[in-house]
Amino acid sequence: MRIEAAFNSGDRLPLIPFITAGDPSLEVTLDMIRLLDEEKVTAIELGVPYSDPLADGPVIQSASERAVSQGVTLTRVLELARTAREMGVTTPLVLFSYYNPILRFGEEALVERARSSGLDGMIIPDLPWEEGRRFSRLAGEQGMDLIPLVAPTSRERIRRIVSDARGFVYCVSSLGTTGMRQHFSEGVEPFLDVVREYSPVPTAVGFGISRSEHVRHFLNHADGVVVGSALVRLIEAKGDRLRDSNRKEQAVAEIREFIRDLTGNTPSIP
Amino acid sequence: MTVKTIKSRSADSLGRFGKFGGRFVPETLMTALAELETGYRSALADAKFREELKTLLMEYSGRPTPLTLAQRLTELTGGARIYLKREDLNHTGAHKINNTLGQGLLARRMGKRKLIAETGAGQHGVASATVAALLGMECKVFMGEEDVRRQQLNVFRMELLGAEVIPVTSGSRTLKDATNEAIRHWVSHVEDTFYLIGSVVGPHPYPEMVRNFQRVIGDETRSQVLEKEGRLPDEVVACVGGGSNAIGMFTAFLEDHSVRLHGVEAAGEGISTDRHAATLTKGSPGVIHGSLTYLLQDEHGQILPAHSISAGLDYPGVGPEHADLKEKGRVRYTTAEDGEALEAVRLLSRTEGILPALESAHAVAEAIKLAKKGDPDSIVVICLSGRGDKDVDSIRQGLEGL
C-alpha cells in the first residue's frame, strides 16, 4: 500500500502533518498540500471540518468552525484531494473525519469516492475498533487503510487493535484532545514501544507535538510523528497573507521553514 | 390486577437497542467505558448498593413521589381523568436526582472522587452538585454560556452547593456544546474522573444505566395507578429532550400493549421552521456524543443547533432507545410548540396550583389534547418531570410575547 511504502521508502521525512481543509480557504489548503508534497513528508492528514469535533482541542476546533462557516463539506474535501492528485501530488493523503459526515455521505459511497479521489487512508477519531470493523473491511476492499488509534489507556486493547492494522497505527501521545503541549506524561515511551512491538505496520505518534525536540525524542519510539495544532495555528496566523497573491510567497516560505525545522537534524526513516 | 415489574431490555454486547446506541468515542475513553459497565453491573448485583440507593431515594429525595389526580384540569378538559406523576416533588425539583444519586453512589463505589456533568436547564447540574455535596466529592459542571445566561438561578444554586460551573463558549453555547466540552474534559482526566451524564444519551452503558436509574418513575406510577384505579392507564405522556424521564416512565409499560405511550418533543417555533428541537420527528439517524441515534443535522452531516423555550429540551440528539422505540412503533413521538407549552404552564398553574417546568409543560400540552378525546372512564398519566421555579423568567418573558 502507498502509506506503508512511504514509511519504508527511506527518502521521506518521518512527519505526518495535519491540516484543516478549507481554513482559511480550500485554495490555501491546496497550496499547503503542494508544499508538504514538495517537502516529501510521509503522509498528509486532510481534516474534514466538523461542527462538533470532540477529540480536538481549541486550535483545530476553531479552524474547523471557520471552515464549516465557509461551507466546506466532506464532498469538497474529496474534490480537493482529486485536484491535488491531478496537479501531481504523490504523497499519501489520509482523510481525517469524524464519523457522522461519513455516515451521512454513505459509507460505501464514501470509500469509493475517496479511492477515486486519490486518498489512501482514513482516520476516524470517534470510530473505535469495535464500531469500525465493518467500515475497515469496506475501506480495505477499495484498497484503502482505516488507520487505527491507540491511546495510553488502551492497555490490553492494544494487541487487538493493532493486530489487523493497515497503513500505520496512530498512537495518541497523552490523554486529552489535540493541541500543543509542553510536557508529555510519564510512561508514554513504554506505551509507544509496546505498540511498536505488536504492530505489523509502522507507528506514528501524535497529539501535542509541536517542536523539533519533541520530534527527535519521539522518533526513538515511533516511525513517524503527527504535527497538527502547531501547523494549523501557523496557517491561521498567516491566513491573510496566504490568501493575498502579492504576499503569499513569503508566508509559504515561512511555513516551509517550520516544516524543515521540525525535522531538521532528524534522521530519515531507515 | 397484579403489580408486576417488567424486566428492562438490555442493550446488546455492542450496547445497541436495535440498530441504535453503541460507543462512538475517542479510543482514550474505551477502557473507561468498559470499566464503567463492569462497575455498574457489579453494583446492580450488590444488594447493599441497591439498598443504599433505595434508602437515599426515600429518605433524601422523598420517594415515592405521589400520583396526583388533576381534578380541576380533568373537569375543565371534559374527557379522560388526568393524573400527574409528581417528579416535581423530588428533592432539587426534578426527576434528575434519581439518576445522579445512582451514578454518584456508583462513582464512590468505583473509587472516583471527581465528578463532572453537563447541564442545559441546570437541573442536572444542580442534582449533580447536590449529590457531590452529599457524598463529599468534587464537582465541575459544564454549561453553555447561553444557558448560563438563561438559568442564572440554577448557576447560583450549583455554586452554593460547592460545584464549579464552567461556561462553554463554543458552538451554539448550549447543552450540545456543554456535552462536547464535558467529553473533552473527561478524555483529559479519564483516570480519576467520573462523568455523570444527565440523560439516556452518550456511549454505552450510559443510555441503559441512566434508564435503569430512572425506571423507578414508571414502576411507581404503574403500581400507584393500579392501586387507585384498579387498572392500567390508557395514555402515558412524557416530554423528550434527551429522554430520561420519558424512558424512565415508559419502561414499566412497554409490555402493556393496551397502554399508549406518547413522547413529546419541543417544536420550538414550529417544526416547519428551523427553530425547534424535534429530533425524532424531524431528524435522521447519525452519531452524536458517542451514540448512534436520531439527530438534527444538515445534508453534510453537520449537527444543527436546536431551539426550544425550554433549555432542558434544547438538544439536537435523543436517547438511542427512543430511536429504537420510534422505529419499532411502540411509542408515538409528537411535538408541542413553545406557545403551547406556555399555555399549558398557565393552565396547570391556575387549575391545580402546580407550576410545571417548561419541559414538563410540553407533555401537559399533549396530554390535554389526548384527554379531550378520551371518555370519562379513560385515564391519562402525565410525567410531570420537574417544577417550574427555575423557569419563571423564561415563562414571564414568553407569556408577555404571546
Of B187, B191, B290, the CB nearest to A177: B187
Which of the four pLDDT bands, split at 50, 70 and 90, describes residue B3? very low
8 Å CB contact of A128 and B184? no
Integer Cα distance of A97 and A228 in angstroms? 14
- Residue B308 sits at the vertex; the CA angle it makes with B314 and B296, to the nearest 5 degrees, is 55
Secondary structure of residue B305 in the 3-state scheme: coil
What is the distance between the alpha carbons of residues B223 and B278, in angstroms, rounded to a whole number?
31
What pLDDT, on a 0 to 100 scale, did the predictor assign at position B8? Answer: 62
> What's the rounded Cα separation, in Å, for the pair B70 and B367?
12
Distance from CA of A119 to the nearest CA of B (A): 19
Asked if residue B36 lies in contact with residue B44, where contact means CB atoms within 8 angstroms, the answer is no
* Distance of residue B303 Cα from the nearest chain A Cα, in angstroms: 6
d(CA A246, CA B231): 81
CA–centroid distance for A83 within its chain: 18
Write down all domains in chain A, each with its CATH number in brackets: 2-146+205-263 (3.20.20.70)
Q: What is the mean pLDDT of chain A?
A: 95
* pLDDT of the residue at B204: 98
DSSP-assigned beta bridge partners for residue B387: B356
Predicted confidence at residue B311, as pLDDT, reads 86
Q: Report whether B323 contacts B285 (CB < 8 A).
A: yes
Interface probe for B, chosen from A126, A133, A173, A195 (most Cβ of B below 10 Å), is A126
**Distance separating alpha carbons of residues B63 and B99, to the nearest angstrom:** 13
pLDDT digits (tens, 9 = 90+) for B119-175: 998 999 999 999 999 999 999 999 999 899 888 889 999 999 999 999 999 888 989
CA distance B202 to chain A (A): 12
Active site residues of A: 45, 56
Question: b/e map of B88-114 (b: 16 or more CB within 10 Å)?
Answer: bbbbbbbbbbbbbbbbbbbbbbeebee
What does the alpha-carbon distance between residue B381 and residue B232 come to, in Å, rounded to a whole number?
10
Kindly give, in sequence order, each residue whose CB lies less than 8 Å from that of residue A164, ignoring residues fewer than 6 positions away: A136
For the four alpha carbons of B20, A107, A202 and A96, in that order, the dihedral sign comes to: negative
Longest dimension (CA), chain A: 54
A250 touches chain B (CB under 8 A): no
The helix (run of H) or strand (run of E) holding residue B338 is helix B338-352
CA nearest to B176 within chain A: A52
Bond prior to B64 in cis (omega within 30° of 0)? yes
Q: Is the pLDDT of residue A266 over 70?
A: no
Name the region of B243 (left: φ>0; alpha: ψ -120 to 50; beta: rest): left
Chains A, B: CB pairs < 8 Å: 117
Predicted local confidence at residue A267, as pLDDT = 45
Residue A51 in contact with partner chain B when CB distance is under 8 A: yes
Mutate to test the interface with A, among B177, B300, B303 (most CBs of A within 10 A): B300
pLDDT of residue B17: 97
Determine the average pLDDT of the residues in B224-240: 98
Set of cell numbers at residue B75: 373537569
Residues near B263 by beta carbon (within 8 Å), at least 6 away in sequence: B238, B239, B240, B243, B246, B250, B280, B322, B325, B331, B332, B333, B334
B55-72 confidence digits (pLDDT tens): 999 999 999 999 999 999
B315 in helix, strand or coil? coil
Q: Decide which of B147 and B266 is more confident.
A: B266
* From A40-49, A223-232, B387-396, the region with the lowest mean pLDDT: B387-396
pLDDT in tens, B326-375: 999 999 999 999 999 999 999 999 999 999 999 999 999 999 999 999 99
Q: What is the rounded end-to-end Cα distance, in angstroms, of chain A?
A: 18
Residue with cell 381534578: B71
With CA atoms as reference, the chain A residue closest to B173 would be: A52
Average pLDDT over residues B109-123: 95
For testing contact with chain B, the best of A48, A52, A61, A146 (most B CBs within 10 A)? A52
| C-alpha to C-alpha distance for B395 and B350, rounded to whole angstroms | 14
Write out chain A residues lying below 8 Å of B28, CB-based.
Answer: 151-153, 172, 175-176
Q: Rounded to an integer, what distance in angstroms lies between the CA atom of residue B388 and that of residue B342?
A: 11
Contact B27 A65 (CB under 8 A): no
**Which residues, listed in sequence order, are joined to residue B107 by a DSSP beta bridge?**
none
Average pLDDT score over residue span A185-209:
95
* pLDDT on residue A179: 87
**End-to-end CA distance of chain B, in Å?**
46
H or E element, residue B400? helix B392-401
Torsion of CA A20, A23, A28, A33, to 10 degrees: 0
Distance between CA A177 and CA A13 in Å, rounded?
Answer: 25
User: What is the per-residue DSSP string for chain A?
Assistant: -HHHHHHHSSSSBSEEEEEETTSS-HHHHHHHHHHHHHTTBS-EEEEPP-S--TT--HHHHHHHHHHHHTT--HHHHHHHHHHHHHTT--S-EEEE--HHHHHHH-HHHHHHHHHHTT--EEE-TT--HHHHHHHHHHHHHTT-EE--EE-TT-TTHHHHHHHT--S-EEEE-SSS-SS--S---TTHHHHHHHHHHH-SS-EEEESS--SHHHHHHHTTTSSEEEE-HHHHHHHHHTHHHHT-TTTHHHHHHHHHHHHHHHHTT-PPP-
Say if strands B67-69 and B81-86 run parallel, antiparallel, or are unpaired.
antiparallel
Q: What is the pLDDT of residue B180?
A: 95
- From A142's Cα to the closest Cα of chain B, the distance in A is 22
Distance from CA of A253 to the nearest CA of B (A): 33
pLDDT at residue number B122: 92
Measured between CB atoms, does A176 come within 8 Å of chain B?
A: yes
Share of chain A above pLDDT 70, in %: 97
Instruction: Label residue B166 exposed, middle or buried (CB < 10 Å: 0-12, 13-18, 19+).
Output: middle
The whole-angstrom separation of Cα B80 and Cα B104 is 39
What are the helix (H) ranges across B244-331?
244-250, 279-282, 320-328
Taking the Cβ of residue A181 and every Cβ of chain B, the question of whether any pair is shorter than 8 Å is answered with no
Provide the chain A residues 102-141 that lie in CB contact (below 8 A) with chain B: 102-105, 125-131
Is the pLDDT at A49 greater than 60? The verdict is yes
Contact B310, B391 (CB under 8 A): yes
Any A CB within 8 A of B19 CB:
no
Strand partners, B386: B94
Q: What's the residue count for chain A?
A: 270
Q: Is residue B1's pLDDT more than 60?
A: no
Contacts with A55 from chain B: Cβ below 8 Å = 26, 187
**pLDDT band, very low/low/confident/very high, at A102 (cuts 50, 70, 90):** very high
Query: How many Å apart are CA A107 and CA A110, to the nearest integer?
Result: 5
Q: What is the DSSP string of B29-83?
A: GHHHHHHHHHHHHHHHT-HHHHHHHHHHIIIII-PSPPEEE-HHHHHHHTSSEEE
**Residues linked to residue B116 through DSSP beta bridges, in sequence order:** B140, B195
**In the prediction, which pLDDT does B11 show?**
82
pLDDT over threshold 50, residue B2: no
> Phi and psi for B111 in degrees, rounded to 5?
80, 15
0.90 exceeded by pTM: yes
Q: Do B26 and A54 touch (CB under 8 A)?
A: yes
Total residue count of chain B as it appears in this document: 402
> What domains lie within chain B, and their CATH numbers?
17-60+96-206 (3.40.50.1100), 67-93+215-401 (3.40.50.1100)
For testing the chain A interface, which of B16, B25, B27, B29 should be mutated: the one with the most A CBs within 10 Å?
A: B27
Residue A65 touches partner B, C-beta closer than 8 Å: yes
Q: Which of A114-123, A184-193, B218-227 has the lowest mean pLDDT?
A: A184-193
The predicted pLDDT at position A183 comes to: 79
pLDDT at B82 over 90: yes
Handedness of CA B23, B29, B30, B32 (dihedral sign): negative
Give the strand pairing for B138-144 and B114-119: parallel
Residue A84 has a pLDDT of 98
